[in-house]
Every structure is written in structure tokens, then in C-alpha cells.
Amino acid sequence: MADLRNNFVGIKSPNPFWLASAPPTDKAYNVERAFKAGWGGVVWKTLGSEGPPVVNVNGPRYGAIWGADRRLLGLNNIELITDRPLQVNLQEMKQVKMNWPDRALIASIMVPCVEEEWKAILPLVEETGADGIELNFGCPHGMSERGMGAAVGQVPEYIAMVVRWCKQYTRMPVITKLTPNITDIRKPARAAKEAGTDAVSLINTINSIVSVDLDNFAPNPTVGGKGSHGGYCGPAVKPIALNMVAEIARDPETYGLPISGIGGVTTWRDAAEFLALGAGNVQVCTAAMTYGFKIVEEMISGLSDWMDSKGHQTLDDICGRAVPNVTDWQYLNLNYVAKAHIDQDACIKCGRCHIACEDTSHQAITNMVDGLRKFEVMEDECVGCNLCVNVCPVENCITMVGLEPGKLDQRTGKPVDAQYANWTTHPNNPMAVVAAE
């Protein structure tokens, strides 16, 4: 059996699946249920200072995007940090940690950018026995208007300032949670690393309005006839999260910085992809809110079974394995050639590949052959764009087949050149040295 035990910046947990700071981790009752279900750790819903209480809306807090059969693809939330008293949260955290010493318990914190505020709350959190802290520099709504959350995460200098305070006033590992609402995710990550953070976590939610109520002409969720931008999460944000994790993992200035991957993790495969792109563990929220805490059982068994089938014994065997293969477009092998191939036995003759290619691509798929309805790829016109694979409703009916070196590309008439088939070794690839190490 694969060993899923996780050691993230010295914080140990039985598996790499943590619950992210969010409604599922707002109180001891939820967290106890999560640990009983098998979660390796939790990041407690973000704590605030002992100042004026946080007040959440009592109307709808979530908007949604659905796919086929009302499968939830994305959630937009306008909920703020915990509205429960700080002392109540601290007492519950302490008790939960005593009850579950083998699980990771991280305290998410968001207080004003005032040194005394951070100096005051850190020893209170430390006294609970928490394994670490996560600095919430990502929340894009409500708190950001008060100069916290994403308002800090969008300014590298502010990030560095708070990280330095935290490293000065606590012995606990510091995880800096980054906002995706920024042009270049590498800059805040660099600032956090330079200031001494032990790790970064990303992504937090994306600024969004998911829909508009066309009867009331107000954004959803609508509260008393008005709506607000909120934070977008769920399966739909996973591609954005993967890219940002990879950007930090392959950046020479942040190379080696531990990353906790967040954003749309719903299955074991999602988790494996984050790990392969450099994450040391993953945090989950929307999947738990959609399917309940027991979904972690499928994540654990699925990741373990896959690792066993591939011969991977520990998480270290897969963490970062895909990073050397992530490169900039200019370093892609332009001599590589692939063509689409249609399995005629699997084809259901729906014609989606033909019409997509005919109307919007390169007119490379027939719809009639010898007077019969038949869909075939004309290699001399196919540019290998992969559109037909993505629109075909039958899995693996259309596949991309790479042409072997020396074979003529019928479209160009030139032989396929495999000189740089592995671009991790290309002399102009800036990651080649990193990959070699």
C-alpha cells in the first residue's frame, strides 16, 4: 500500500487532504465530524481580532454555476470570516487538538495591518496547540474593503511586512495564503519567501459575479434587492489554481518553497495533479460542501490505488514530478506533429467533430465517404489542434497520434524532427538546469 503520510513544513498528518479555511471548519462540531471521516487536517475558519464583531448577512450567501444534470461547477460566496467570538473559537481549537493529536490543525488569521494586532493574537493561537498559522491574504470581498484580505495580498510589501511580524512573534510555522486576484502570482510569493514564510497556500477565491437575477436586475446571491461581488471557488477554478501553483513551483526565485494547493480539488486525480505540479498537500472546500465529509474516503483510496498501480511508494515520489515539463510557449517543440484518429467502431455518427472542424477549425474531417455518412480525418489538412477530441461525446473515440521521427507530415511535406522531443534538456529552456538538478 502506498504511504500517504504527509509532512508539510514539519506539520504531520496521516494523509495530504486538508479542509480549507471556510464554513466547513467554523466550529468544533464540524471539525470533529471531518476528522472522524478521515481528513488529515483542517485550516480553521479565519479568526479575527477581539475588536468589533464580524456580522455576516442572514440572507443568501452563495451563488452557483451548474453543468449538466445540475452538477455544481462553481460557487460564489459573500460570507466573511468567522462571526463567532475569538475566545470560543480558541477554546474549541484547543479541545479538538487534544482529542485528535495526530491530525493537523492550522489557524487561519486575518487582523488589521497593525503590528500590535498581530502581536496580540499570535500567542493566543499558539496556546491552543495549533500546528501552524495561515495568513489570510486572499479574501476578495467584505474584509478587503476594510484593508484586509486581498487588499493585503495584492501588495507584496504588505505581505512581507506581516510575514516578518509573524515570524518574529510566533514559533509556529507560517503559511501565507495568496490571492489569485493579481496579475503575476510570483511577485507576492517572492515577497513572502523573502520575508521568511515557511510556505504559501493558493489559490484563495476569485473575484466574481456568477449571475444576474433578470427579474429583479440584481447580482446573485441577492440580499434585500442588492448583490455584491464575491469569491468564486469549486471545480471551475482548478485550471487557474494549477497554473498559479506551477508558476511558483518553477520560478527560480521561489523554487523549493513549500506549497499547499487549493482550488477545485474534487477527486483523487485533482489532488495528484496539484502534487505533480509542486504542491506538498491539498486543501478542499467546495467538494466537501457539495458531497459531505466522507468524500475524503474516495480521495484517499483513489490516490492510494493509483500510486500502487504506478509503483509510487510515498508522496515524495510524485510531488513536483511535472514541474520540469512546464515551460513557456517559446520553448515548445514546434517540430512535434500529431494527427487526430477516429475509432470507427466507437463512433456514434453524431457529426459533432465534423461540424466543429468544418465551421471553426481546418476542414479536416469528412462527413461522407463513398456516399455514406462517415467521419474520417484528412491528415493533409489536420493541424493537430485537438478540438475534435474535446467536442466528441464518446471518450477515447478520437485520439491524437504522434508521428514518428522521419515520417513525412502530409500537411507540410517535411519529415518530423524529434531532435528536441524532451524540452527539459533544451539549451534555451531556463528550467533545464533546475530539471537536471
Catalytic residues: 139
DSSP helix/strand/coil, 132: strand
Supply angle C-alpha 132, 147, 186, rounded to 5.
60
Q: Where are any strands of DSSP class E within 329-434?
A: 338-342, 368-369, 372-373, 398-402
Whose CA is closest to 133, among 90, 189, 75?
A: 90
The residues near 276 (Cβ < 8 Å, ≥ 6 apart) are 318, 319, 320, 321, 322, 323
CB atoms within 10 A of CB 351: 14
Distance (Å) of CA 303 to CA 161, 240, 258, 279: 38, 22, 20, 15
Sign of CA dihedral 425, 243, 200, 261: negative
Task: Tell me which amino acid residue 199 is.
Answer: A
Which residues, 6 or more positions from 85, have their beta carbon under 8 angstroms from its beta carbon? 53
* CA-to-CA dists, residue 139 to 64, 81, 424, angstroms: 18, 9, 36
- Write out the three cell numbers for 322: 511535472
Q: What are phi and psi of 170, to 5 degrees?
A: -145, 150
Sign of the Cα pseudo-torsion (101, 104, 105, 107, in order):
positive
d(C-alpha 427, C-alpha 421), whole Å: 13
Residue 293 half-sphere exposure, CB side, CA atoms within 13 Å? 20
| 3: three-class secondary structure by DSSP | strand
